[in-house]
Amino acid sequence: MVLMRILGIETSCDETGISILEFKNNQCKILANLVYSQIKVHQPYGGVVPNLAKREHQKNLIPMLQLALKEARLEKNKRKNQKIKLPASKIQVLENLLLKDEILKQNLLSFFQTIDKPKIDLIAVTKGPGLAPALWPGVNCARALSYFWHIPLLGINHLEAHILSNWLPKEKNQWTTLQITQNLFPATDLIISGGHTQLVLIKKIGCYRLIGETRDDAAGECFDKTARLLGLSYPGGPAIAAEAKKTKKLPPSSFSISLPRPMINQKNYDFSFAGLKTAVLYLVEDLKKQKVSLNLIRPFLAAEIQNSINEVLVSKTIRLAKNFHTKTIIAAGGVAANEALCELLQQEAAKKLPGIKVIIPAKQYTGDNAAMIALTAYFHQKQPIHWEKLKADPNLKL
């Protein structure tokens, strides 16, 4: 069976990802998987600043690609002194393609002068959904590589990639069989990230039906916004989870902290988290009026916020799995890193749906990464797109 190498590129939000995966006989091997988190850049602003994200992606994509090629031992004929002369016609095409990505253009032009075409069979890049200024540098970088090296190109849906991240090999450089068999389906999928909260019915890979979604804020967004109200730093999810853990070490609170579980009893599969954020705001103000120290009460507030979000997510997921008789529940996205959520999901599934399989991504793949983009491309390898036609689509649906 032929060996296939896919280069993955991810820039939908505040993580720059470059990954190279190898495939053979339904097996997958990670040759390189680099993620550069911009958290430090955005932290002072309390959230992601799109134009800063764009600048960071432009700066980091090519140095990361060089590193990834080196790790994957695909850096052929690297020249130190004698540079490759680029034809003027090719430079002109690249100039036009990268008109709005000056830093990336400079990096790419000097990169093409020092390295020969590597043995990559397909280039895959996140097309959407995501922040437009963040998506474009990734898309344009992939288009430029595809044009210059004559390598087929694919635009990938970031949400589908989060789903498939569940099957990424846990270790680097080890062949792992892709155990995505038809007996997992139909499956209930809970996609929970900074921008999305969706319940999806999966009939097979590539066949998705949106059943419910948030009507306002996403679960991750709610973690981020309520964390800010508690004086915790960005990203709020991990900060709230860490704070909530402290409740075990403190004496029981004498304050009654109770937050709503929005839409938990409604028979639909939609969510709404904006009201929870407002409830936290009022609660914090009320506590301030009562001269209660936020430092003292913060862990209990964090635990209650986490419980509220998790209970709603789990309750609706279990209901969907039950009503649609699915064989599997699959969690995906950044919020799936929340340990309390995963525990609750597993407990409730075992209690209410005995025999159902619960699949949770390995922690290192819950956040944005390019390995999941390359893996998704493997399943869609027969649908490449010409580099001139690929566009970022910030509102791309599953």
Which residue ranges make up the site for ligand KG4 (CB under 6 A)? 13, 193-195, 220, 223-224, 235-238, 241, 333-335, 337-338, 367-368
Look at residue 238 and give the partner it binds from Zn ion, ligand KG4, none, a contact being a CB closer than 5 to 8 Å depending on partner kind.
ligand KG4
Q: How far is the CB of 158 from Zn ion (least distance, A)?
A: 6
- Cβ–Cβ contacts within 10 Å for residue 93, how many? 15
Q: How far is the CB of 339 from ligand KG4 (least distance, A)?
A: 7
Which of 247, 366 has the CB closer to Zn ion? Answer: 366
Binding region for Zn ion (CB under 5 A) out of 60-68, 190-198, 343-351, 378-386: 190-198
Under a CB-based contact definition with an 8 Å cutoff, are residues 168 and 31 in contact? no
How many residues contact Zn ion, by CB under 5 A? 2
Q: How far is the CB of 367 from ligand KG4 (least distance, A)?
A: 4
Binding region for Zn ion (CB under 5 A) out of 40-48, 318-326, 340-348, 366-374: 366-374
In 3D space, the residue among 237, 200, 245 whose CA is nearest the CA of residue 218 turns out to be 237
Look at residue 337 and give the partner it binds from Zn ion, ligand KG4, none, a contact being a CB closer than 5 to 8 Å depending on partner kind.
ligand KG4
Look at residue 133 and give the partner it binds from Zn ion, ligand KG4, none, a contact being a CB closer than 5 to 8 Å depending on partner kind.
none
Q: How far is the CB of 219 from ligand KG4 (least distance, A)?
A: 7
CA dihedral 287, 293, 297, 301 (to 10 degrees): 50
Please report, in angstroms and rounded to a whole number, the separation of the first and last CA atoms in the chain.
31
Rg (CA), the chain: 22
Which of 138, 237 has the CB closer to ligand KG4? Answer: 237
Q: How far is the CB of 343 from ligand KG4 (least distance, A)?
A: 12
Tell me the C-alpha distance between 151 and 387, whole Å.
Answer: 9
In 3D space, the residue among 199, 185, 190 whose CA is nearest the CA of residue 330 turns out to be 190
User: Which residues sit opposite 200 in a β-bridge?
Assistant: 189, 210
Tell me the C-alpha distance between 219 and 234, whole Å.
Answer: 14
Which of 13, 353 has the CB closer to ligand KG4? Answer: 13
Q: How far is the CB of 191 from Zn ion (least distance, A)?
A: 9
Which of 42, 105 has the CB closer to ligand KG4? Answer: 42
Q: How far is the CB of 327 from Zn ion (least distance, A)?
A: 25
Q: Which of 137, 368, 373, 384 binds Zn ion (CB under 5 A)?
A: 368
Which of 141, 239 has the CB closer to ligand KG4? Answer: 239
Q: Does 14 bind Zn ion (CB under 5 A)?
A: no
Which of 103, 199 has the CB closer to ligand KG4? Answer: 199
Binding region for Zn ion (CB under 5 A) out of 27-35, 69-77, 109-117, 193-201: 193-201
Q: Does 193 bind Zn ion (CB under 5 A)?
A: yes
Which of 152, 220 has the CB closer to ligand KG4? Answer: 220
Which of 223, 378 has the CB closer to ligand KG4? Answer: 223
Residues near Zn ion (CB under 5 A): 193, 368
